[in-house]
Structure 1
């Protein structure tokens, strides 16, 4: 399915949580937001596991 950005945003509801993850070579970061874009908690960082 191909959706435009606006079509994707219309799919969000009050029960939605958006997770963003920045993947790097060694240390990764993740953040969570509610459907309005308000950050939930603090940035979570974690290391690569082998």
Structure 2
């Protein structure tokens, strides 16, 4: 959550590209759901395909 707060408080010129493996992939998906405006792409490996 602190990363999300930091992103919200700054004006970014470019969006993030996130990657995650296993549990990191799940956490990256949650991050995208919460902070979609700050993310350009998401790549996950060996985890759930959809969160919806």
TM-score, length basis structure 1:
0.27
- Report which of the two has the higher share of strand: 1
- The higher relative CO (CA closer than 8 Å, separation ≥ 6) is in 2
- Report which of the two has the higher share of helix: 2
